[in-house]
């Protein structure tokens, strides 16, 4: 029996929401199959198998493993294969957050199975889990006396770190930045297109937004760069992730 089976049973009793399992596909088909089956007590409705782009070394084998898994798994579940950036962690996080949000909009939660992934993808999966409050699991391989992998010893849930989400007012500013904005005045007008520059209302908005920008900068969500006579405001990768979560 896997050590988390009791927790899975409790989770299943408490939740009627169906689940999509995201699986990062590598070269170890049997390990992946066993890890997927180990999560069988969760109310899984769909499985998404993530592979890299075709130009990556060894990716032909990964895609073959994914196709074989799909044939075996779709007898029970709805299964699809999707691409993800295995080299760029930031882009992979963004892709995962978008995919998780799509599932949430369709009424499903997501669990991530990182048992067969590259280290970069495992990191991306963990960040995405923290950002979206999704559960993530990995497996501990089992080896024989000759040191050959013969399955998995157990599957474990990786605890996620709590992420502080800014207030709705602050998130409105993050979303308005939308990558970058060339000055505080431009940001004020982006948020308040009908306000007249130089008016009392404009100055009040400028002070309010400047106050929130200082907090967002301390949280690491934005960075400021001197740009001629102005200060350019840009989202950091963390700010981009948060904006993605809110979409």
In degrees, rounded to 5, the angle at the alpha carbon of residue 184 between the alpha carbons of residues 168 and 202 is: 80
31-71 confidence digits (pLDDT tens) = 899 999 888 889 999 999 999 977 778 889 999 999 999 99
Share of residues in the chain with pLDDT > 90 (%): 58
Question: In Å, how far are 117, 127, 236, 247 from 23, measured between CA atoms?
Answer: 8, 15, 28, 23
pLDDT of residue 30: 87
Residue ranges and CATH numbers for the domains of the chain are 5-158 (3.40.50.11700), 168-246 (1.10.10.10)
| pLDDT value at residue 245 | 54
CA angle 178, 182, 187 (to 5 degrees): 60
- The more confident residue out of 28 and 134 is 134
Q: Which residue in 106, 149, 124, 157 sits closest to 50, CA to CA?
A: 124
Q: Are 212 and 229 in contact (CB under 8 A)?
A: no
Listed residue (97, 88, 119) closest to 24, CA to CA:
119
Q: Is the pTM of this model over 0.95?
A: no
The backbone torsions φ and ψ at residue 190, rounded to the nearest 5 degrees and listed phi first, read: -65, -35
Contact (Cβ atoms closer than 8 angstroms) between residue 23 and residue 37: no
The reported pLDDT for the residue numbered 147 is 81
Tokens 């992420």 found at: 163
């Amino acid at each position: 029996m896997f050590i988390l089976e009791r927790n899975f049973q409790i989770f299943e009793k408490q939740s009627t929401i169906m689940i999509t399992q995201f699986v990062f596909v590598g070269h170890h088909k049997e390990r992946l199959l066993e890890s997927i089956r180990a999560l069988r007590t969760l109310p899984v409705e769909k499985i998404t198998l993530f592979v890299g782009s075709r130009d990556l070394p060894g990716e032909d084998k990964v895609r073959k493993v994914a196709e074989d898994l799909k044939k075996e798994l779709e007898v029970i579940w709805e299964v699809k294969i999707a691409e993800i950036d295995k080299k760029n962690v930031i882009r992979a996080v963004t892709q995962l957050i978008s995919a998780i949000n799509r599932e949430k909009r369709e009424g499903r939660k997501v669990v991530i199975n990182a048992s067969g992934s590259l280290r970069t993808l495992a990191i991306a999966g963990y960040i995405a889990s923290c950002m979206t409050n999704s559960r993530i699991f990995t497996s501990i391989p089992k080896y024989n006396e000759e040191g050959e992998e013969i399955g998995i010893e157990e599957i474990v849930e990786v605890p996620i770190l709590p992420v502080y989400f800014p207030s709705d007012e602050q998130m409105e500013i993050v979303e308005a930045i939308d990558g970058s904005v060339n000055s505080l005045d431009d940001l004020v007008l982006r948020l308040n297109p009908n306000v007249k520059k130089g008016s009392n209302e404009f100055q009040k908005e400028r002070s309010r937004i400047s106050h929130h920008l200082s907090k967002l900068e301390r949280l690491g969500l934005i960075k400021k760069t001197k740009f001629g006579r102005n200060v350019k405001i840009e989202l950091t990768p963390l700010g981009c992730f948060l904006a993605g979560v809110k979409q």
